[in-house]
Structure formats: structure tokens, C-alpha cells
Amino acid sequence: MPDSPKTGPLVAERRFCFVVHALSRVHRGIMGVPSLRAGLVGQWRDGTEAADVLPVCTLRLKGVAVGHVVGVPMVPEDLLGDQQRAVDRMVQAVALAGDVAAVGLGSLCAVVGGRGEALADRLDVPVTNGGAATAWALLDNVRVVLAETGTRRVAVVGSTSPVGRVVVQSLVADGFAVSVDHPRGGRGLDVEVCDGPAAAVSGCRVVVGAGPTGGVVPGACLAPHTVVIDVAIPGTFYAPLPPSVVVLAGEAVGYPVGWERGMWGWLYHVLSGYGPSQVFACLIEPLVLATSGRERPFSIGRSLSVENVEAFGRGAAALGFKPRLAKGWFAVPRTKLLLP
């Protein structure tokens, strides 16, 4: 069946699932609280068994969609140490969520198993890995920063990642002068190809961190008063950064009226680093997918196109989601972006 061109909800409250993992041992313990998993809370279970998969919270966009956040309470080293087992647990997590129209993946769940491909092979619902949502939020935030600062030149670090590649393509199409950190990031495009991240950011006042891996570039190579829009966690640039550098969250998204979380959902927002007033873009990718009527994911494996990012953006905007310039949990006034 072809994808529906409609971006609004087909029926009220479509169901989606979002699979998350424990970010740390402490996080794993807290994850066990809502469903009273004493073994996880007490740390005598390591969260790797099938029986450890558990519901975390329910999120709802009233009248539109309901999302079941399901936890695979494995810490990063366990997820990465045995990716096949991690995929098995994600299959069980989706089963726990019941009948859903789309599956989204949070954090490292979107990386293990071929960036969602292995999970998708085992399910009959579309699995989407968050790349389109991340690229959409990042691009929107970058465009705002470029407009507010009156800058025409921008550097993209992590340009070989699927998100980085789409960002570069889109900024070039917008007419910006783009510097990239690797030849593959600029293949076939009219960009300045530099020998590594430090060369790419040299002299640039607006820098995009589009790679998923943080802490890979010394902050000292940034010019004073640079504005960095970053999706890597931890950040792309490691300390010390020049004190006048502003680093903004690249994938923060403000949610519409009607976003309901309940107590556990609120706690999940806070513990996952969103803060109480925003979400990370990847969370809403399965929501938009579930309500769009599409049968194909917006992003899976390394597959991510400008067209899919734009299609996702139209769907998200129609539901009232909006990228948000933020630093940590808090929105950043545009006046803070004015370059000296």
C-alpha cells in the first residue's frame, strides 16, 4: 500500500511504542520503580533477562496518539557487549507494548542491531530510528541561528553521519557556504572539504555537531563567540571551550497543548535529560509515523533522505511540535545569539 499523503491522524489515538534503555545503573534502578521491580531497584538483577523488560510510562497527545515507553533495563555496556541479545530484548519490549502502529528507538537502542534494521526484520510494524526527527529539529534550529546571527558560513562536524549528510545537503540547497570535516560528508556537493573537524570549524561562527558521538573534538579549536548547535550527547566538543561559546541542544522540541505524561512520564522526561518542558526529537518520530498512515519508516539503518526529513517535519508541525532553541532544559532567547 502506498504511503498516505495525509499527515494528520487517521483515527483517534493511534498507538506507538518507544523503546528505551537504562543510561546507568542508578537509572536502571529508578526504571524499576513504576512497576515495582525489586530486583532492579535493589540492583541484584542486571536487567539483561527477558523478564526484566518493563513498561516505563505512557505518553499521550490527547485525541491523537498514545505512546507506550517500554524499557530494556540494560546499561550501555551490556547493550553494546551483546547486540543480538539487545535486539532480542527490544523485540520483547515491543511485544509488551501490544498492538502498535509504529516503533521508535531511543538512545543506543537506535544504534545497536544495524541502527534498527535487525529489529525491523523481526517485526511487522514499521521501526523508525529517530534520524529524520533529529535532522528536522537540528536543521530548523540551525536555520534560526543562521538567520538571527546573519551568518552565511557554517561548519558541519559529523558530516558523514546520516543526519550530517542531510543537514549538509539542505544547507547547501539553502545557499549557505558549508565546510565539512570529511570528503564523504561533502560528496557531490559544492562545499569546502576540510581535513578533519578542527580545520572545518576554523573561523566559523556557527558550527553544527551532527555526529552521534560526543567528546571527539577539542573545544579549544572553536573561535570565541561561536554558536554550536549539537545533537551529540555528550557534546561534540570537549572542555575547555572558550567561555563565550554558546552550545545549544540540536534536537530539543517543544510539545503542543494536549501532551500528557502523568507522574512517571514527567519523571521519565526529567531523567532522560529532556527536562520538564521539552522532548528530544527522536521520541516523536514514531508518534508522527503512527499518525501519518505511512507504512515505511522515516529513517532506518543509514537510510535517511531530505524528502523523508521534510515529510516528517510537515507531520510534526501539523501536530503542533516545534523545534526549540535550548540550552540544557531551558529555552534560549534569540537575543542571546547576537554575535559581537
Partner 1 sequence: MSYHTNIDEAKWAKVRDAFAAALGLEDDEVELGSKLISDLGAESLDFLDIVYRLERAFDIKIPRGGIEGSAQEEVGGTYEVDGILTDDGLMALKQLMPEVPSDEFHDGMRVTEVPELFRVATFYNLVCHLIDKADQAKKVSEDAG
Least distance (Å) between residue 156 CB and partner 1: 12
Least distance (Å) between residue 210 CB and partner 1: 10
In terms of CB distance, is 164 or 293 closer to partner 1?
Answer: 164
Least distance (Å) between residue 160 CB and partner 1: 4
Gap between the Cα atoms of 87 and 92, Å rounded: 9
In terms of CB distance, is 212 or 265 closer to partner 1?
Answer: 212
Least distance (Å) between residue 256 CB and partner 1: 31
Among 127, 134, 132, 97, residue whose Cα is nearest residue 112: 127
Query: 75 and 47 in contact (C-beta within 8 Å)?
Result: yes
Gap between the Cα atoms of 167 and 162, Å rounded: 9
Least distance (Å) between residue 12 CB and partner 1: 37
In terms of CB distance, is 141 or 236 closer to partner 1?
Answer: 236
The string of DSSP codes covering 155-167 is EEESTTSHHHHHH
Query: 176 and 192 in contact (C-beta within 8 Å)?
Result: no
The single residue listed with the C-alpha cell 508541525 is 317
Query: 128 and 103 in contact (C-beta within 8 Å)?
Result: yes
Q: How many CB atoms lie within 10 A of CB 188?
A: 7
Q: Give 31's contacts (C-beta < 8 A, 6+ positions apart).
A: 22, 40, 54, 56, 71, 73
Least distance (Å) between residue 108 CB and partner 1: 8
Residue 9: half-sphere exposure toward Cβ, Cα within 13 Å: 15
In terms of CB distance, is 34 or 186 closer to partner 1?
Answer: 186
CB crowding 304-335: b at 16 or more within 10 Å, else e:
bbbebbbbbbebbeebebebbbbeeeeebeee
Residue type, position 144, single letter: V
In terms of CB distance, is 185 or 250 closer to partner 1?
Answer: 185
The single residue listed with the C-alpha cell 570528503 is 183
In terms of CB distance, is 15 or 115 closer to partner 1?
Answer: 115
What is each CA distance from 124 to 93, 127, 252, 296, in whole angstroms?
14, 9, 30, 11
Residues of this chain that interact with partner 1 (CB under 8 A) are 77, 80-84, 111-115, 118, 158, 160-162, 182-185, 211-213, 216, 301-302
In terms of CB distance, is 119 or 228 closer to partner 1?
Answer: 119
Least distance (Å) between residue 113 CB and partner 1: 6
In terms of CB distance, is 122 or 336 closer to partner 1?
Answer: 122
In terms of CB distance, is 179 or 278 closer to partner 1?
Answer: 179
Q: Give 200's contacts (C-beta < 8 A, 6+ positions apart).
A: 155, 156, 157, 159, 179, 180, 181, 192, 194
**DSSP class of 303:** B
Least distance (Å) between residue 111 CB and partner 1: 5
Least distance (Å) between residue 309 CB and partner 1: 16
